[in-house]
Structure 1
Amino acid sequence: MMGADTVSSTVLRRRSWPIFFGIAILGLGVGVTAAVFKVTAMHGFREGWQGIPVFLAVAAVCGRIANSKVVMQGAVLLLVNPLRTYIIPKAMIRNVSVGDDGTLEVHLDEERKIASFAFGGSLIDRINRTSPKAERNIRSWLHSSPAIERTDLQVRWSRCILADLSLLLCVVTAGVGALWMALSSG
């Protein structure tokens, strides 16, 4: 059951990114697992484990890229880029456009603009025209209802639980492995 204060949101993202990066992470995981077993069989686990933190770091980067999106939620637009999330009040947005390179840009007052990583220009975008479609959706949202009040632009670190967990596991695995190697050398 939805409450009266529930705000509906529309998420714009390239459907191909989560699919592509999911396949890449799965394929890389299978490859790294095979490599760890092969190196372990030839040289022992002391050297074989070292591929695990590399895989976890690559999975973290891929996860952050796949998490990029644009969210129209109530009276704010969230631009979720791999590292930074911009929370932009609707009243602050002056224009939305697609740059010469195909990147979606949100223009703010004071001649500032913020580029969307989710709709950065790419070869696929030239064919599917995803950035212009996102531009039309945002323009429609901007004109759908009046902006309630203006607050300032907020910038936060993007959160991506799976990517952050992967990076944390990378650091823990590398630290424990390095400590184990240091203590067991001799």
Structure 2
Amino acid sequence: MKTQGKRRQVLHRTSFVVLSALFTTGFGIMALGFAVSMLGGVPPRGPLAVVAASLGVIAFCRRITGSRIVLGPRVLSVVNPVFTYEVPYRYVARVGSDRRGNLVVTTREAVDIRSVGFAGSLIDHFVGSTDRAVAELKAALAEPRDLRGDSRPVRRWTRSWVADGCTAGMLVCIVLAVFANA
């Protein structure tokens, strides 16, 4: 787990950063290698399928490993693979973990928001990164903040430029593979 900055804190698992770099680099090199092999006259259907699969793995891994919690000036953001929840601090009722070790932010409207970035796991049972994240969140929420404003909790689609670009590239490769040698 790592925090950055004074105005804006980002909580995420360090292992997610390492895994993201490994998967992106490894599968990116593989996709590039097969893309280059098509320049040598290899029939494109097979290499295009491998490039599409590699881009799909990168997109999936980047979405999962991009999960984090951001403490902004006025909003607590829980960034999950598909949705990002932005909760103004005045709407945060409770931060804790459930019996399975998942980090849960409960709003004043009794909505539980679970963080994929701090979901319970066997390793976390021994390492305790979720418990440390809960303690950091509670300490950050106890700090005096400007609670003015009339915004309400918002759920929106999570943007991940690398994952979205890889997904688009994967779809292009699939279409090209379907029509290759046709």
Q: Which amino acid aligns with 1:47?
A: G
In 2, the alpha carbon distance for the partners of 1:166 and 1:13 equals: 22
Correspondence for 2:173: 173
Correspondence for 1:143: 142
In 2, the alpha carbon distance for the partners of 1:102 and 1:45 equals: 47
Q: Counterpart of 1:82 in 2: which secondary structure? A: coil
Q: Which amino acid aligns with 2:173?
A: T
Q: Answer whether contact 1:91 1:147 (CA < 8 A) is retained.
A: no
What is the CA RMSD across the aligned residues, in angstroms? Answer: 2.5
Correspondence for 2:3: none
Tell me the number of residue pairs that the alignment of Structure 1 and Structure 2 aligns: 175
Q: Counterpart of 1:152 in 2: which secondary structure? A: coil
Matches within 5 A, 1:26-175: 26-30=25-29, 44-149=43-148, 150-175=150-175
In 1, the alpha carbon distance for the partners of 2:176 and 2:44 equals: 14
Percent of residue pairs bearing the same amino acid type: 25
Q: Answer whether contact 1:37 1:48 (CA < 8 A) is retained.
A: no
Deviation at 1:147, TM superposition (A): 4.8
List per-residue Cα deviations over 1:90-127 (Å, max 9, x = no partner): 00001101111110000111322110111000122112
Q: Counterpart of 1:26 in 2: which secondary structure? A: helix
Q: Larger C-alpha radius of gyration, 1 or 2?
A: 1
Q: Check if 1:13 corresponds to 2:27.
A: no
Deviation at 1:49, TM superposition (A): 2.3
Deviation at 1:71, TM superposition (A): 0.4
The runs of at least 4 consecutive aligned structure 1 residues that moved more than 4 Å come to 29-41
C-alpha change, 1:176 and 1:80, in structure 2 (3 Å) is same
In 1, the alpha carbon distance for the partners of 2:45 and 2:153 equals: 49
Deviation at 1:173, TM superposition (A): 1.6
How does the TM-score come out when normalised to structure 1? 0.83
Deviation at 1:34, TM superposition (A): 6.7
Q: Counterpart of 1:148 in 2: which secondary structure? A: coil
